[in-house]
A = this chain, B = another copy of it.
Amino acid sequence: MILAVDAGGTSTRAAVVDASGRCLGYGTAGGGNPKSAGYDRAVSAVFTAAETAVARVPRPVTLSLALVAMAGAGQTMSRRAIAERLTELGLRGEVKIEGDLLAMFHSGTDQQSGCVLVSGTGCVAARIADSRLELVSDGAGWLLGDAGSGYWIGHAVARAVVASLDGRGPDTKLTALMLESLQLERTGERIHGRPQVLLDLIEALYRLQPVELARFAPLAFEAGDSVAAGIVESAASAMAETLGAVRGEESEGPVVIGGSVAAAVLGAEPLLGAPLRAVLRDAEVIHVSDGLVGAAVLGLRRAGIPVDAIVFQRLHESVARSREEKLKTPAAPA
């Protein structure tokens, strides 16, 4: 048995799997990214998710390896700190840390080469060759990159609304949606040459952390006017550029796509996602929800267990089943 963990920014998932690809236990916890959650909370999230997963496995539990997938892999997390906590859960082997991108790719395929594009709060693409990151594009964070991400779209929405309210930009339905979501009212009053509501909006938005602007991304898909459509289309173009930078003409293997924003852009009206769909035209495209299956694939292989199409399919299905059961069953009190 091995332990696979996918530690993300908002939640952490863990699974105990056997050599045949069966998922024996599944658990979740809060954000496990040391950069956003902090070091101690990240270690705790990994432990809590693992503990829940292990609790459902028949005794005795002996885990021969733990593979933890996370962003900025291994740069900030100490494998020893995680290993110490996991020993009490039955870990008798090593802790391996791998990048979240690699795990996301392997969640979609048993092949070892191809490309992956993830657009959620951030946006990044990579070319994978022999299960290693060969080329990575973007993922440069909210200030410097993440073009086409949830932050990027939410930021564009906020700028469009501010520009509209002070007369620089065209009217847009985004304004009403954003004011509503912040419970701000248009009074018509003006202060020192500016609408009161604009001053209120600016104050409310600067009170957020910049990355929290990602929460306004859904408005771009909801508003249905040309300003909103322009933002979604620019996001699709940016994602297409990011993927295009890693996927050459002769690229082999599938393109695995993850993240809620990539899904929303591809699911938007045909015209809006066009730039991204054009890049994907000749590719085998596989959508995944997270990197847990991939963490298990990588973990099994690192433990010397081959993962062929049959094992992969079994992993895929049994992790999905465990996830559904988890959703139906309320968690037992700790």
CB pair B145 A163 closer than 8 Å:
yes
Stretch among A6-14, A87-95, A134-142, A228-236 lining the B interface: A134-142
CB pair B193 A144 closer than 8 Å:
no
Most chain B beta-carbon contacts within 10 A, residue among A127, A159, A167, A206: A167
Would A145 and B167 be within 8 Å (CB), given that A127-B193, A193-B133, A193-B136 are in contact?
no
Inter-chain contacts of A198 with B (CB < 8 A) = 140
Expressed in whole angstroms, the Cα–Cα distance for A158 and B145 within the complex equals 9
Inter-chain contacts of A166 with B (CB < 8 A) = 136-138, 140, 145, 245
A263 interfacial contact with B, CB 8 Å: no
CB distance from A238 to the nearest CB of B (A): 8
8 further A-B pairs in the complex, CB-CB below 8 A; given A133-B193, A137-B168, A144-B158: A135-B193, A136-B166, A140-B198, A143-B210, A145-B162, A145-B166, A168-B245, A169-B241
A residues in contact (CB < 8 Å) with B? 73, 99, 126-127, 133-138, 140-141, 143-145, 147, 155, 158-159, 162-163, 166-169, 192-194, 198, 202, 205-206, 210, 213, 241-242, 244-246
12 contacts between A and B (CB under 8 A): A135-B167, A137-B167, A138-B166, A140-B162, A140-B202, A143-B205, A144-B159, A144-B202, A147-B168, A168-B241, A168-B242, A169-B241
